[in-house]
């Protein structure tokens, strides 16, 4: 019987771009396998070349179809593309809904494109656990553009800003996205606005409304901005506006590099990742030590003798930590 390859055995194969090794490491990153931790640390040291593009927007805006067309356009420019498609999953079964991946069929057979679906499994913010480690794996494997497509859950979508260098927000005519954009703070998080389904009669109005709101936002803030987010009208089935969208993504990367903001964004991502990793470690510690302890705390909470804050501090003390006042 063949020995199962350890994660450390896979590191060089991942760096060489071997698809099977990449797939195995992605599975181990997604599952949070302890055995993979050292390998993922080594992989992180081999990153820093990929441009990470987040594509987000409300459900029904046509993100998956647009992502496939954007990937295909990058391929005409001889760039390897990794796609991490975050799928919503049931909070009860943890199962993901993978139907939208069918729409990426045109690029899945391309050896220069790697598509991976990841289930949120109840994670908040539109990203799955292990998303950024999946970005590391694809980056180290030589994919020059890594696209993260989020689930489209409204106000929690702002998390994509803490993961991507360039954020594209997709709006569709007739979905009330103008109101949704204001509610979710999307006007602030978008580096580029893409209006999908551009063949619909309302598409031009959506473009005009977005441009108007962007200008109004700058005027109300009373500040000068170095760059106003462009609005690109697209129609993925007809391949219209896709080249312009990719050019806007490339232009944004050039802007980030020339302005010095690229390193600032990378530093912000590093900070967020460190804090998120600490949260996960703390959560896992709670889960590992909850037996026998949680029941007693819940009993005290039920009688009102202690508050949730006090209960949390006792849990922290139980795992050897102390919270500052």
- Of 3.20.20.100, 1.10.1740.10, 3.40.190.10, 3.40.50.300, the CATH number of 47-259 is 3.40.50.300
**Mean pLDDT of the 149-153 span:** 73
What integer pLDDT is reported at residue 144 of this predicted model? 98
What confidence category does residue 20 fall into, taking pLDDT thresholds of 50, 70 and 90? very high
What integer pLDDT is reported at residue 146 of this predicted model? 98
What integer pLDDT is reported at residue 94 of this predicted model? 44
pLDDT tens column, 98-127: 554 556 667 778 999 999 988 765 554 557
Percent of the chain that is helix, strand, coil (3-state, to 5): 55, 15, 30
What integer pLDDT is reported at residue 95 of this predicted model? 44
On average, the pLDDT of the chain sits at: 83
Reading the block at residue 105, the tokens are 């069929």
Rounded Cα distance between 77 and 74, Å, is 5
What integer pLDDT is reported at residue 288 of this predicted model? 73
pLDDT tens column, 167-190: 999 988 876 655 555 555 667 788
What integer pLDDT is reported at residue 241 of this predicted model? 97
Cα dist from 85 to 96, 98, 156, 175, 231, whole Å? 11, 9, 16, 22, 23
Residues with Cβ within 8 Å of 323's Cβ and at least 6 positions away in sequence, in order, are 312, 313, 316
What integer pLDDT is reported at residue 81 of this predicted model? 98
What integer pLDDT is reported at residue 180 of this predicted model? 56
Provide the 8-state DSSP code for 61.
S
Residue 155 has pLDDT above 50, yes or no: no
Name the residue with higher pLDDT: 62 or 92. Answer: 62
Best-predicted range by mean pLDDT among 23-32, 138-147, 192-201?
A: 138-147
What confidence category does residue 2 fall into, taking pLDDT thresholds of 50, 70 and 90? very low
pLDDT tens column, 279-303: 878 877 777 766 667 778 888 889 9
What integer pLDDT is reported at residue 289 of this predicted model? 67
Rounded Cα distance between 266 and 263, Å, is 5
Reading the block at residue 281, the tokens are 């470690």
Q: Which of 12-16, 225-229, 270-274 has the lowest mean pLDDT?
A: 225-229
Q: Please state the separation of Cα 81 from the chain's center in Å.
A: 15
**Mean pLDDT of the 2-11 span:** 84
Reading the block at residue 133, the tokens are 């480690």
CB 159 within 8 A of CB 125: yes
What integer pLDDT is reported at residue 283 of this predicted model? 78
Please list the residues that pair with 240 across neighbouring strands. Answer: 235
Name the residue with higher pLDDT: 240 or 126. Answer: 240
**Mean pLDDT of the 223-244 span:** 86
What confidence category does residue 89 fall into, taking pLDDT thresholds of 50, 70 and 90? low
Provide the 8-state DSSP code for 124.
S
Residue 53 has pLDDT above 90, yes or no: yes
């Amino acid at each position: 019987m063949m020995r199962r390859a350890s994660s450390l055995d896979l590191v060089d194969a991942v760096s060489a771009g071997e698809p099977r090794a990449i797939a195995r490491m992605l599975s181990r990153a997604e599952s949070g396998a302890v055995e993979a931790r050292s390998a993922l640390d080594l992989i992180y040291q081999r990153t820093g070349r990929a441009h990470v593009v987040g594509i987000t927007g409300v459900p029904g805006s046509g993100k998956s179809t647009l992502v496939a067309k954007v990937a295909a356009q990058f391929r005409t420019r001889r760039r390897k593309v990794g796609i991490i498609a975050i799928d919503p999953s049931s909070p009860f079964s943890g199962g993901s809904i993978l139907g939208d991946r069918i729409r990426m069929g045109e690029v899945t057979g391309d050896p220069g494109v790697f598509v991976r679906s990841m289930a949120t499994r109840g994670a908040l913010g539109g990203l799955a656990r292990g998303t950024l480690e999946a970005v590391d794996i694809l980056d180290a494997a030589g994919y020059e553009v890594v696209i993260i497509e989020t689930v489209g859950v409204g106000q929690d979508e702002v998390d994509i800003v803490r993961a991507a260098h360039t954020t594209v927000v997709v709006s569709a005519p007739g979905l009330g996205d103008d109101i949704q954009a204001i509610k979710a703070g999307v006007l602030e998080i978008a580096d580029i606005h893409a209006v999908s389904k551009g063949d619909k009669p309302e598409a031009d109005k959506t473009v005009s409304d977005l441009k108007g709101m962007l200008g109004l936002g700058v005027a109300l803030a009373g500040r000068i901005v170095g760059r106003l987010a462009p609005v690109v009208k697209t129609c993925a089935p007809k391949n219209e506006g896709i080249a312009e969208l990719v050019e806007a993504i490339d232009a944004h990367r050039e802007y980030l590099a020339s302005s010095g903001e690229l390193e600032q964004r990378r530093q912000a991502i590093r900070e967020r990742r460190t804090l998120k990793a600490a949260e996960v470690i703390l959560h896992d510690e709670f889960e590992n030590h909850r037996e026998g302890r949680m029941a007693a705390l819940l009993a005290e909470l039920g009688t009102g003798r202690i508050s949730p804050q006090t209960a949390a501090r006792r849990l922290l003390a139980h795992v050897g930590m102390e919270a500052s006042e």
